Amino acid sequence: MSKVKTGFFCQNCGYESVKWLGQCPSCNQWNTFVEEIKHKEPAKANGWENYSNEKRTNKTVALKEIRANEEKRLLTPDKELNRVLGGGIVAGSIVLIAGEPGIGKSTLFLQDGLQLSNITVLYISGEESEQQIKMRAERLKLSNENFYLLTETSTQIIFQEIKKLKPQLVIVDSVQTLHTPFIDSSPGSVSQIRECAAEFQRFAKETNTPVFLIGHITKEGSIAGPKILEHMVDTVLQFEGDRHYAYRIIRTLKNRFGSTAELGIYEMTDEGMKGVANPSEILITQKEDHLSGIAIAATIEGMRPLLIEVQALVTQSVYGTPQRTVTGFDLRRLQLLLAVLEKRGGFHFGVKDVFLNIAGGLKVEDPSIDLAVLCALLSSYEDVALPQHICFAGEVGLSGEIRAVNRIDQRIAEAEKLGFEKIIVSKYGQKGLAKQKFNIEVISMGRVDEVYRYLF
């Protein structure tokens, strides 16, 4: 009997070492090494080739001789998904969808698979039983004759079924449950995930069938396991959103066939995920009565302008150390803005507790939200409501200057569309901005104190 070969693998990034290490030299994480059994039959080519009879040999070809068949894209009925994929599903592409457990990955892809009625879809589930999936499909009120289900985790059996069925789209839920007989380590381990994904990758490329791999990420946000797949797949989509809120965002982290600046927004309803075509309208709770501490930011998320409500609460601190609590915003960024207000405006936030909340449970990365955050803080500090129908777009610098943000005309246009009357922007970098063409009043300011004097 031959000796079983083992290796130590970092469960975070997949780094392989011959001995156990406390800290991974590749990703610097601690205590991530686990011993795993390596290939059972290392000499043989393993995976998908073993299940298919036709062997392929690759030759060198001149690039000009390759005829690109103008990426045929498959448009799904789900507009948000088409958008994040860069305009539909590319034949032979392999897409990784990562997200925390319970965020709605299975729901969305079951729903999208069921809606693709003109192609054969195979949904492979290693997590739920056939009955559970059937119940979910009934809850979604969808049915489809070309939709097939396989509850199996061994890639050997999966590929046998695939050869029989010849699906035109394969959805795997989830990649962590798969195991290949060519590797001995347990499902979910780094070497299993990598090998199973590689088998699907070869399958996708050789048969030109698109494959969706669903993967779980850990609470810290790192894609345990799936992280090591990022370079292998064509597209990485990441699910975001707070489970306690209805909104879910899909961000494109990597895309060989499109922009990575794309973003899809869904609302989780009791009948599945509904694409949100007009997110700004929902994210602003335009109340009748004026409340202090609320400001609207004209941000751009991905490629789309998005108006978002920022809520701040500033109260007298009861304990010695003032609290700073944020949802959907970077805590260090808040501390920086508070320091700017303290130093440049003489506001005493040092004795106040500050709470900041971005409506809808969204996480905003666009720095143009700064000005709205600052105005929400000031509004709560002064306990004076901001005038209605005003919104903000500007980054705030350390000396209290308002810095220009990109694609300002798109932001102004969105604010105008939603019925805002005024928008405060930076006075810098306005070349080529034709204010006259907007019905909304565009107010340019250079410093935070100007804004303060204007508002209060």
Residues engaged in binding Mg ion (CB under 5 A):
106
Nearest-approach distance from CB 213 to Mg ion, in angstroms: 13
Nearest-approach distance from CB 107 to ligand TYD, in angstroms: 3
Nearer to ligand TYD, 139 or 287 (CB): 139
Binding partner selected for residue 102 from ligand TYD, Mg ion, none, CB under the kind-specific 5 to 8 Å limit: ligand TYD
- Which tokens hold the place of 456? 């209060």
Pairing state between β 235-240 and 94-99? parallel
Nearest-approach distance from CB 226 to ligand TYD, in angstroms: 13
Binding partner selected for residue 12 from Mg ion, ligand TYD, none, CB under the kind-specific 5 to 8 Å limit: none
Nearer to Mg ion, 171 or 340 (CB): 171
Binding partner selected for residue 82 from ligand TYD, Mg ion, none, CB under the kind-specific 5 to 8 Å limit: none
- Judge residue 32's burial from the number of C-beta atoms within 10 Å of its C-beta, 0-12 exposed, 13-18 middle, 19 or more buried: buried
CB atoms within 10 A of CB 107: 18
Rounded Cα distance, 124 and 442, in Å:
53
Nearer to Mg ion, 109 or 347 (CB): 109
Binding residues for ligand TYD, rule: CB under 6 A, are 99, 101-107, 136, 139-140, 268, 270-272
Binding partner selected for residue 324 from Mg ion, ligand TYD, none, CB under the kind-specific 5 to 8 Å limit: none
CA end-to-end distance (rounded Å), the chain: 83
Nearer to ligand TYD, 99 or 305 (CB): 99
Nearest-approach distance from CB 455 to Mg ion, in angstroms: 46
Nearest-approach distance from CB 246 to ligand TYD, in angstroms: 8
Nearest-approach distance from CB 132 to ligand TYD, in angstroms: 9
Residue 225 and residue 232 in contact, taking contact as beta carbons nearer than 8 Å: no
Nearer to ligand TYD, 245 or 438 (CB): 245
- Which tokens hold the place of 245? 């809120």
Nearer to ligand TYD, 136 or 389 (CB): 136
Binding partner selected for residue 419 from ligand TYD, Mg ion, none, CB under the kind-specific 5 to 8 Å limit: none
Nearest-approach distance from CB 122 to ligand TYD, in angstroms: 17
Tell me the C-alpha to C-alpha distance, in Å, between residue 119 and each of 141, 158, 168, 185, 211.
19, 19, 6, 35, 14
Cα 168 → chain centroid:
26
Cis peptide preceding 174, ω within 30 of 0 = yes
- Which tokens hold the place of 271? 């009948």
Binding partner selected for residue 139 from Mg ion, ligand TYD, none, CB under the kind-specific 5 to 8 Å limit: ligand TYD
Nearest-approach distance from CB 268 to ligand TYD, in angstroms: 5
- Which tokens hold the place of 454? 């204007």
Tokens 């971005």: give the residue.
Answer: 358
What does residue 448 show for φ and ψ, rounded to 5 degrees? -65, -35
- Which tokens hold the place of 348? 């005493």
Listed residue (172, 180, 177, 176) closest to 228, CA to CA? 176
Binding partner selected for residue 274 from ligand TYD, Mg ion, none, CB under the kind-specific 5 to 8 Å limit: none
Rounded Cα distance, 226 and 243, in Å:
21
Q: What DSSP letter does each residue of 363-394 carry, written as one string?
A: ----GGGHHHHHHHHHHHHHT-PPPTTEEEE-
Nearer to ligand TYD, 245 or 355 (CB): 245
Nearer to ligand TYD, 267 or 441 (CB): 267
Binding partner selected for residue 157 from ligand TYD, Mg ion, none, CB under the kind-specific 5 to 8 Å limit: none
Nearer to ligand TYD, 190 or 268 (CB): 268
Binding partner selected for residue 99 from ligand TYD, Mg ion, none, CB under the kind-specific 5 to 8 Å limit: ligand TYD
Q: Is 141 left (phi over 0), alpha (psi -120 to 50) or beta?
A: left
Residue 328 and residue 358 in contact, taking contact as beta carbons nearer than 8 Å: yes
Nearest-approach distance from CB 295 to ligand TYD, in angstroms: 31
